[in-house]
Amino acid sequence: MKLYDLELSGNCYKVRLFLSLLDIDYELVPVDFMGKQHKSPEFLKLNPLGQIPVLEDGDLVLRDSQAILVYLAKKYGGEDWFPTDAVGIGIVTQWLSTAANEIARGPADARVGTKFGFGIDVIAAQKKAEPILNLIEQHLSQTENQWLALNRPTIADIACFPYIALAPEGGISLENYPAINKWCNQIKKLPNFIEMPGISK
Q: Give per-residue pLDDT as tens, 88-107.
A: 999 999 999 999 999 999 99
Residue range 30-35: mean pLDDT, rounded: 83
Q: How much is the mean pLDDT over the chain?
A: 95
- What pLDDT, on the 0 to 100 scale, is given for residue 33? 77
109-112: long-range contacts at Cβ-Cβ below 8 A with a sequence spacing of 24 or more? Answer: 109/170, 110/167, 110/170, 110/171, 110/172, 111/10, 111/163, 111/166, 111/167, 111/169, 111/170, 112/170
Q: Would you place residue 50 in the very low, low, confident or very high pLDDT band (cuts 50, 70, 90)?
A: confident
pLDDT in tens, 57-96: 999 999 999 999 999 999 999 889 999 999 999 999 999 9
What is the rounded average pLDDT of the residues 125-153? 95
Amino acid at 11: N
Cβ-proximal residues to 2 (8 Å cutoff; 6+ apart), any chain: 26, 27, 28, 29, 55, 56, 57
pLDDT tier at 15, thresholds 50, 70, 90: very high
* Cα pseudo-dihedral 180, 185, 191, 196, rounded to 10: 90
The whole-number pLDDT of residue 190 equals 97
What is the pLDDT at residue 43?
81
Contact assessment for residue 88 and residue 103, using Cβ atoms and an 8 Å cutoff: no
The pLDDT of residue 95: 98
Q: What is the pTM of this model?
A: 0.94
**pLDDT score of 147:** 97
Q: What domains are defined for the chain?
A: 2-77 (3.40.30.10), 86-188 (1.20.1050.10)
